[in-house]
């Protein structure tokens, strides 16, 4: 409980401290386009390596064994290809748009921008709503709280308020910093998990069990 409280407090503190760096709409939406490549990559990894992604890959590994690596390999190839070729991304940066709906307006008009924004918003709510619920269930179980639906809703509401507060205060800058913190914590956790798995199970036993 203490560790979880510390992490959540740090995230909220970051949102409050980064507020002073937000002086324009560009700062809020795209961090004034000043994010370096390494930090952008870490931010993307921190965003992608959420709780659902970790648990999904673990379950896929149990079911598919080493053949499950093809999922990560395909994602790596596609991401690397887009990064090296600049597919779509470079053109959007040249247009200096801050969102996809803004590009819709440049290309198709204001009505398409509104429609695209609504569809993206609904899709994001449905997608992130699932992450929010799973995260709340995780906290509910790890803290040994009551399994009632009312408790789950309260945790979801608290998590949502926390995210809204630091995002609205610090914009994209606070999101990038919290993603970086998340990436560091996840990386350390992954390395420790791998180390203790090999230490306790044995390197050869892992392969023998799979065979």
Q: How far is CA 193 from CA 55, 89, 150, 199, in A?
A: 13, 35, 33, 10
Q: What pLDDT digit, counting tens, does each position of 5-60 carry?
A: 777 777 777 767 777 788 888 888 888 888 888 888 888 887 777 777 777 788 88
Spatial separation of the C-alpha atoms in residues 11 and 4, rounded to whole Å: 11
Quote the pLDDT of residue 118.
94
Quote the pLDDT of residue 1.
63
Determine how many CB atoms are found less than 10 A away from the CB of residue 173: 24
Quote the pLDDT of residue 112.
93
Q: What pLDDT digit, counting tens, does each position of 89-131 carry?
A: 888 888 888 889 999 999 999 999 999 999 999 988 887 788 8
Mean pLDDT, the chain, whole residue set:
83
Which residue shows structure tokens 């979801």?
Answer: 156
> Does residue 190 or residue 11 have the better pLDDT?
190
Burial class (CB in 10 A: 0-12, 13-18, 19+), 47: middle
Quote the pLDDT of residue 44.
83
DSSP 149-201: HHHHHHHHHHHHHHHHHHHHHHHHHHHHHHHHHHHHHHHHHHHHHHHHHHHHH
The fraction of the chain above a pLDDT of 70, given in percent, is: 97
Q: What pLDDT digit, counting tens, does each position of 128-150 carry?
A: 788 888 888 888 888 887 777 78
Quote the pLDDT of residue 40.
84
pTM score of the predicted model: 0.73
HEC letters along 2-34: HHHHHHHHHHHHHHHHHHHHCCCHHHHHHHHHC
Quote the pLDDT of residue 54.
78
Q: Where would I find the H helices in 86-148?
A: 89-95, 100-108, 110-142
Mean pLDDT of 179-199: 86
């Amino acid at each position: 409980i203490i560790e979880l409280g510390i992490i959540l407090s740090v995230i909220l503190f970051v949102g409050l401290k980064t507020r002073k760096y937000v002086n324009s709409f560009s700062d809020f939406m795209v961090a004034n386009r000043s994010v370096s490549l390494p930090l952008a990559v870490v931010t993307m990894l921190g965003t992608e390596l959420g709780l659902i992604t970790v648990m999904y890959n673990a379950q896929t590994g149990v079911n598919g064994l080493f053949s499950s690596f093809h999922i990560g390999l395909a994602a790596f190839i596609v991401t690397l290809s887009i990064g090296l070729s600049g597919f779509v991304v470079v053109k959007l940066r040249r247009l200096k748009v801050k969102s996809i709906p803004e590009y819709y307006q440049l290309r198709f008009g204001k009505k398409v921008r509104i429609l695209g924004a609504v569809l993206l918003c609904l899709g994001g709510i449905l997608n992130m709503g699932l992450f929010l619920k799973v995260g709340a269930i995780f906290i509910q179980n790890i803290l040994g709280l009551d399994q009632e639906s009312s408790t789950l809703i309260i945790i979801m509401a608290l998590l949502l308020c926390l995210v809204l507060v630091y995002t609205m205060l610090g914009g994209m800058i606070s999101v990038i910093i919290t993603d970086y913190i998340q990436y560091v914590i996840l990386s350390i956790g992954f390395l420790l998990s791998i180390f203790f798995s090999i230490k306790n199970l044995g390197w050869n036993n892992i392969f023998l069990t799979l065979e």
